[in-house]
Homo-oligomer: A and B are copies of this chain.
Amino acid sequence: MSFLGRSGAPSGSVNPERVEMAMQELDMVTDVFNRLVSSCHAKCISPRYAEGDLSKGESVCIDRCVSKFFEVNKKVGEKLQSMGAGQSGTQSAFGSL
């Protein structure tokens, strides 16, 4: 999640801007984690719920699912960076503001 590449800033009292950025990063990590849990649950967990333990197959699937999700996260991040995104898509909603 080092996609945002914040530059280090040193010492002193509470800098609201720095705290704000850390909180945004924290929110993002939580958001990504929740989506990851949900996606891998849909991909790997049998919806019959005949027992409460993860089967061997489910466990292996989860491990691979997390790996692939991280790879996808990286690819999408690189793609967005290469496009200088943060500019297009999102802002267009505010074109009329």
Contact = CB atoms under 8 A, between A and B. Distances in A.
Contact of A30 (B26, B29, B33, B93): B93
A30 B93 CA distance: 7
Interface residues of A, number: 6
Contacts of A97: 26, 29
What copy number does this chain have within its complex?
3
Contacts of A26: 97
A69 to B, nearest CB: 14
Nearest to A1: B96
Interface of A: 26, 29-30, 33, 93, 97
Considering the complex of A and B, which 3 residue pairs feature the smallest CB-CB distances, nearest first?
Answer: A33-B93, A30-B93, A29-B93
